[in-house]
Amino acid sequence: METSRQAGRAADASAIEARFRDVRATTVALVAPLSSEDCALQSMPEASPAKWHLAHTTWFFETFVLERHRPGRKPFDAAFRVLFNSYYNGVGDRHPRPERGMLSRPSLAEVLGYRESIDEELGRALVEGSLAPDLAALVELGLHHEQQHQELLLTDVKHLLSRNPMKPAYQKAWPLTPVHLGTREWIGIAGGRHEIGHAGGGFHFDNEAPRHAVWLEDFEIASLPVTHGEFLAFIEDGGYRRPELWLSLGWDLACSRGWQAPLYWERLDSTWRTFTLHGMAPIEPHAPVCHVSFFEADAYARWAGARLPTEAEWEVAAGPARAGNFLESRMLHPLASPEPSVPGELSQAYGDTWEWTRSDYGPYPGFRTAPGAVGEYNGKFMCGQYVLRGGSCVTPRSHIRATYRNFFPPEARWQFSGLRLARDRAA
């Protein structure tokens, strides 16, 4: 019996060590197309340099795992504790977020050396199986944290490259795929008592739990997300000039910031083009629209005579996570569906674009913040933000779940954020 348990522990250690190596290698591969200058720049306060993402995800493992695994160990560099702390007040001081692009030192080579050193130290502990169970759980959390930063790295790089008048491409090969022109239908969902949230068994973030009951009224939800072509009709009908379609704060923002189309759209004569990670490209009318704020999504829904779904409606309607256009496809752009829609099922609910919901980002009934600095991961952001669901074309596939709750402030546009319509079912 003891031999069997030892073999099980060894298998678990081998599996998490392999996953650790894979996730860490993926992050480094994402910066391979970039120059060292690309990796150092920060295009806006909300974004971070690629070099900072590489260092911060390493800082997480050093700070929360290795320092506890080996009390009194000498840090790789004592200055990194401040430079690469993101928002963990319980850990100590932080370098100001808007000034991350001013960190010309350490160099990219030094940051990569930092990663290699921590990977070797933690990898050895994983192979030996010497981590305490609570620290092994923090390694799993750190891997999902790093996958979040893989997505952020690409969205931040996209914004950075878009600011260059040369409009350089991150990846030059354009993802040509067959297009199936799906027909949108309204899918009826019966109201009543439903359950949402993570039930345990497998990794999940604390904000996905506890699983709990919700009451829904009968509703309908669109089988397809809103496309570029449909959003273009909203623009051509004066959607950005009609205050009656907008929430007051959204209208003020749209006016003050000069919004006339989704982020990255540019009009040349009568043709709309958009900036992508492959460079400038024509608008694909059948692909899901992206880079719209919550306010734009809400205004479009009102213009279309519908509304955004709540996150509970979305989760009940979407069902279990399925295959889709994720980071692993290397498309790095939302695409029109290559497959016919399945009657009665949501198409492209997972991958392509995150979908705004009408739900405020708040705690589920019974939610408790974890003790210590790690408890700052999600709970303290539950104010003034909205929930998005489903993942995007730059989300790692193994990172997404039906219960996954992404969240951003309503004005955010640089993420791959789109929308799907819902409406109350007629009596």
Give the total number of structural domains in the chain: 2
Enumerate residues 6+ apart whose C-beta is below 8 A from 402.
315, 318, 319, 320, 321
Q: pLDDT tier at 121 (50, 70, 90 boundaries)?
A: very high
Q: Are residues 284 and 418 in the same domain?
A: yes
Is the pLDDT at 175 greater than 70? The verdict is no
Is the pLDDT at 176 greater than 70? The verdict is no
- For residue 170, being part of any structural domain is answered with no
Is the pLDDT at 391 greater than 80? The verdict is yes
- For residue 342, being part of any structural domain is answered with yes
Of 177-181, 197-201, 230-234, 419-423, the poorest mean pLDDT is in 177-181
- pLDDT score of 413: 98
Q: Are residues 70 and 218 in the same domain?
A: no
* Mean of pLDDT over the chain: 93
Q: Are residues 111 and 213 in the same domain?
A: no
Q: Within a 10 A sphere around the Cβ of 210, how many other Cβ atoms?
A: 14
What is the CATH classification number for the domain harbouring 389? 3.90.1580.10
- pLDDT score of 148: 97
Q: Which of 311, 385, 395 is nearest to 351 (CA)?
A: 395
Q: Are residues 157 and 202 in the same domain?
A: no
Q: Are residues 258 and 151 in the same domain?
A: no
- For residue 171, being part of any structural domain is answered with no
Using the 8-state DSSP alphabet, how is residue 372 labeled?
S
Relative to beta strand 265-268, strand 417-418 is unpaired
More confident residue, 380 or 292: 292
Q: pLDDT tier at 179 (50, 70, 90 boundaries)?
A: low
Q: pLDDT tier at 379 (50, 70, 90 boundaries)?
A: confident
How confident is the model over 248-303, as pLDDT tens digits? Answer: 999 999 999 999 999 999 998 889 999 999 999 999 999 999 999 999 999 999 99
Helices (H) and strands (E) in the chain, counts: 11, 12
- pLDDT score of 7: 45
Using the 8-state DSSP alphabet, how is residue 302 labeled?
H
- pLDDT score of 342: 84
Q: Are residues 50 and 196 in the same domain?
A: no
More confident residue, 173 or 197: 197
How confident is the model over 339-354, as pLDDT tens digits? Answer: 777 888 999 999 999 9
| Domain assignment of residue 224, given as a range | 186-424
How confident is the model over 2-55, as pLDDT tens digits? Answer: 554 444 455 567 889 999 999 999 999 999 999 999 999 999 999 999 999 999
- For residue 180, being part of any structural domain is answered with no
Of 158-172, 233-247, 337-351, the poorest mean pLDDT is in 337-351
Q: Which of 49, 61, 52 is nearest to 24 (CA)?
A: 61
Q: Are residues 139 and 203 in the same domain?
A: no
pLDDT above 90: percentage of residues in the chain: 85
Centroid of chain to Cα 307: 23
Q: Scanning the structure block, which residue is given the tokens 């050193």? A: 117
pLDDT above 70: percentage of residues in the chain: 94
- pLDDT score of 151: 98
Q: How many residues does the chain have?
A: 427
Q: Are residues 198 and 320 in the same domain?
A: yes
Rounded mean pLDDT, 176-196: 84
Which H or E element spans position 112? helix 108-128
Round to whole Å and give the CA distance between 282 and 273. Answer: 4
Round to whole Å and give the CA distance between 296 and 410. Answer: 9
Of 16-20, 73-77, 239-243, 341-345, the poorest mean pLDDT is in 341-345
Q: Are residues 146 and 201 in the same domain?
A: no
Is the pLDDT at 127 greater than 90? The verdict is yes
Q: How far apart are the first and last CA of the chain?
A: 62
Q: Are residues 30 and 129 in the same domain?
A: yes
Round to whole Å and give the CA distance between 227 and 289. Answer: 5
